[in-house]
Structure 1
């Protein structure tokens, strides 16, 4: 009945699998849990995750080479034996013990082909050097059902998705996307283009792993480079993301060089705020826009 599929990379995924396995077992349904490691370079964690293979209906597999998150999920979809999938990120945890039951009950009462359950963050503040990821996640990713349904495609993520296998087969992650960043956006745009409705329900997961503020900024450097490639190839239209939408007008008025110059001059000051114990999401927005202008000058 249900295939729970989880891509992982350098993350101890066994606790999540144990929780999901217990929940699925208590529902007395046919299920499987497949964890696919994208060629992690942390051998200790890979060895620890091998214990997943000792759990009933669970398997832990490893890619021979790094494929990237999107292609790893495509592979998981092809391996799944049931038509109904639950797609989760490895660094998550169900808010409560009825997570699997909630998805099953939803599917029993709905003809929806895809549903997003939501992502939340702990109310407890993390270490000061992890504040940017926590603040950004709470303001931009932890969105109520009432607000998510107003922008169903924009505010859905593949980190907590109930979806029919055929939908993912017909709408796989783009093969052009092999690097980090904006793969979820492209998938949601494809679903929207193909008139596949996304339902939003209240069945959240906690996002657990918090990058340090410096690492989170560096990740966005990579994701914005990927956004540039996707935009250059016209996979993403300038109206599809807030950054490309604003950049379009900056470019139209020939102000890219000016914004890039301003970014260089203010970068140190912005980073000082972003790595502080009280980072500003607005400053982070300006930082990302400035960085995007800079890489588009090259």
Structure 2
């Protein structure tokens, strides 16, 4: 998920106090699962929704997602979790957006940031639909019939796990995010027929539909903290029990990052990649990223290679061709993976 910077983070504790919710007494629900948790209900209540759309967010406003799904079927519920943003202004914006639509919304707010796996697991516990659909806050469904397509697939094909695919269709080209857009388009945006060749490795936690009972029996591994690979680990584990269906019903990843953020996340992901390799050694050995990391694990010039790769990926002079920048970022990422495998 893409994070946006917020000012006045020193007000984190004050923002979450009960006073922050005093304007919404008609929305507050009881029975929180954590002491630092509040739950708000907005719109009609559904006893037995067909689908629960689950959206975690952290310092990112999901209002645009609401607008895109404004015409959602009446038997779909939306559950969001604010994973420790601690921003009264963001909370107000999300509630205002939810009040402008006609569907059922529940908003869980955490004072503390617990991470993406824990947030998704909390959403699963709150869901009431037969199926859950994970959509990150920075996703924009490509088709106006996005949810209807999902409901049709779930009703006719009855998959346990299904992935709809990703795109950059609604992510406008911008110089500062050009590398991420190109990398994402080349690595993550593939049609279903190609994704089916590596069904687990090609599955992400955004635009992922799962039968709720299976998801509760096989939650995300909360030991994966920080950025990266908790969804890959889950997909590899799920594939040991069921087949993963891939369909062409993509959503755009609109929250693209600049180069500095990409490199920071690559460094953070090293620890999770090492955990993934320990948990699923047979499958991960086939990953190109793993083979590159193993090659670099004992390389005496690894730090030098990292600096060169970072310089090429950043391309401050604006002269490096995009394929070279993309390769350089992958090399930079591999050096951090190697460091954690060592």
CA distance in 2, matches of 1:37, 1:116: 24
Name the TM-score, length of structure 1 as normaliser: 0.87
Could you say which structure has the higher helix fraction? 1
1:79 — aligned with what?
Answer: 126
1:64 Cα deviation after fit:
2.7
Where does residue 80 of structure 2 map in the other structure? 35
Whole-Å Cα distance in 1 between the matches of residues 316 and 232 of structure 2?
A: 25
- Among 113, 127, 131, the alignment partner of 1:66 is 113
The Cα of 1:262 is off from its aligned counterpart by 3.8
Change (3 A) 1:126 1:83: same
Counterparts in 2 of 1:49 and 1:154: CA distance versus 1, 3 Å: same
Q: Deviation of residue 269 (structure 1)?
A: 3.3
Choose from 204, 218, 227 the match for 2:273: 227
- The aligned residue for residue 302 of structure 2 is 260
Give the Cα–Cα distance (whole angstroms) in 1 for the partners of residues 152 and 314 of structure 2: 47
- 1:75 partner SS: helix
What does 1:1-298 align with in structure 2 at a 5 Å threshold?
1-25=50-74, 30-54=75-99, 55=101, 56-122=103-169, 126-194=173-241, 196-231=242-277, 234-237=278-281, 238-239=284-285, 241-251=287-297, 256-264=298-306, 266-267=308-309, 269-273=311-315, 276=318, 278-279=321-322, 280-295=325-340
Equivalents in 2 of 1:116, 1:124: separation in Å?
20
Supply the distance in 1 between the matched residues of 2:246 and 2:72 (Cα, whole angstroms).
21
Q: CA 1:201 to 1:123, structure 2 compared with 1: closer, same or farther past 3 Å?
A: same
- Following superposition, the deviation at residue 122 of structure 1 comes to 2.7
TM-score by length of 2: 0.77
Instruction: Indicate if the aligned counterparts of 2:160 and 2:210 stay in contact, CA closer than 8 A.
Output: yes
Deviation at 1:275, TM superposition (A): 8.8
Summarize the Cα distance change of 1:103–1:274 in structure 2 as closer, same or farther, 3 Å threshold: farther
Q: Gapped runs of 5+ residues in structure 2?
A: 1-49
Judged with a 3 Å threshold, the aligned counterparts in structure 2 of structure 1 residues 165 and 173 are, in CA distance, closer, same or farther, namely same
Which structure ranks higher in relative contact order (CA pairs < 8 Å, sequence separation ≥ 6)?
Answer: 1
Count of matched residue pairs? 286
Judged with a 3 Å threshold, the aligned counterparts in structure 2 of structure 1 residues 269 and 32 are, in CA distance, closer, same or farther, namely closer
Equivalents in 2 of 1:264, 1:105: separation in Å?
Answer: 47
- Identify unmatched segments of 5+ residues in structure 1: none
Give me the whole-angstrom Cα distance separating, in 2, the residues matched to 1:98 and 1:190: 31
Which whole-Å CA distance do the structure 2 matches of 1:74 and 1:87 have between them? Answer: 11
Shift of 1:154: 1.0
**Counterparts of 1:81 and 1:261, CA distance in 2:** 49
* Alignment partners' CA distance in 2, 1:197 and 1:275: 47
Moved more, 274-283 or 76-85: 274-283
